[in-house]
Structure 1
Amino acid sequence: MTPAEIKLKRTDAILQELIPEAISQLGDARLHELDVIEVRCAKGRSDAKVYLDPHDYSEAERNAFLKQLRKARPVIEDYCMKDQGWYRCPKLAFIFDDQLQKTQQIEALFKQIEGEKHDES
């Protein structure tokens, strides 16, 4: 692993710790229940994608959360900058991570196919 990759991973880990802290300090109590799954910075560390746990939120709830997070983004970035003493913070983009749901759907399909094979035998 190169020094640049190590620095990038370190930044990811720091942001993954700081973003939930920053969100918990916001005035909107609804945002406090959001869980950060992962943070991935771009190579130049100018942008970062923040993956959130979708739980069982409806599409309307997700959109409301994302709208609130877009409004609070400067405050969250400022919190991270001040905590770490950075000159600038990566621009954060919040995304709900549906990967777990997709994986579960695929596994359910495989189980269904396997069940059909046993029925044919």
Structure 2
Amino acid sequence: MKSINLQRTESLLMELVPEALSSMNDHRIRSLPITGINCKNGKYDAIVYFDGSDFEDKEIPGVVSALTKASGRIKSYVLSATGWYKCPTFKFENDKSLEKSKNIEDLFRKIEKDKKSDS
């Protein structure tokens, strides 16, 4: 169970990271949807999950690389917006859970269609 302070930190970062990304020059990350942030070790590390479904699998490493290069500017933005002394170190990961839920929804639609065709 996460502490209230850690949950607040994650919530604040969920607002600030997309704001920081919106000011970037790279079109791939400027409007990238952030789906979640998981803070570890207090506020020292944060995994930022993004929705990479608009990209092909071979493009994802380039997006992660662009995000990693931009992490210094993201940190600066977060520090200036919050007044924190230290900002978490960001690690970026493609959120595959959205893709899995879409596949499950597609499967349910197919089952429903098959049931109707059997009737």
Q: TM-score range by the shorter chain?
A: 0.7 to 0.9
Q: How far, CA to CA, are the matches of 1:27 and 1:112 in structure 2?
A: 41
Please give the TM-score of this superposition, normalised by the length of structure 2. 0.82
- C-alpha displacement of 1:7: 0.5
Determine if contact 2:37/2:46 at 8 Å carries over to the other structure: yes
Superposition pairs of residues 38-49 of structure 1, within 5 angstroms: 38-49=36-47
Q: How far, CA to CA, are the matches of 2:115 and 2:37 in structure 1?
A: 41
**One-letter code of the match for 2:31?**
E
Superposition pairs of residues 31-42 of structure 1, within 5 angstroms: 31-42=29-40
Determine if contact 2:21/2:31 at 8 Å carries over to the other structure: no
Gapped regions of structure 1 (runs ≥ 5): none
- C-alpha displacement of 1:74: 1.2
Superposition pairs of residues 32-111 of structure 1, within 5 angstroms: 32-109=30-107
Q: Identity percentage over the alignment?
A: 38
Secondary structure in structure 2 of the residue aligned to 1:88: coil
Structure 1 residue ranges, 4+ long, deviating more than 3 angstroms after superposition? 106-120
Secondary structure in structure 1 of the residue aligned to 2:99: helix
Provide, for residues 6-28 of structure 1, a one-character-per-residue CA deviation record: whole Å limited to 9, x for no partner: 10011001101110111111222
Using the TM superposition, name which of 38-47 and 84-93 deviates more. 38-47
**Is 1:6–2:38 an aligned residue pair?**
no
Q: How far, CA to CA, are the matches of 1:46 and 1:107 in structure 2?
A: 37
Gapped regions of structure 2 (runs ≥ 5): none
Using the TM superposition, name which of 53-62 and 32-41 deviates more. 53-62
Corresponding residue for 2:14?
Answer: 16
In structure 2, the CA distance between the partners of 1:97 and 1:44, relative to structure 1 (3 Å rule), is same
Secondary structure in structure 1 of the residue aligned to 2:11: helix
Please give the TM-score of this superposition, normalised by the length of structure 1. 0.81
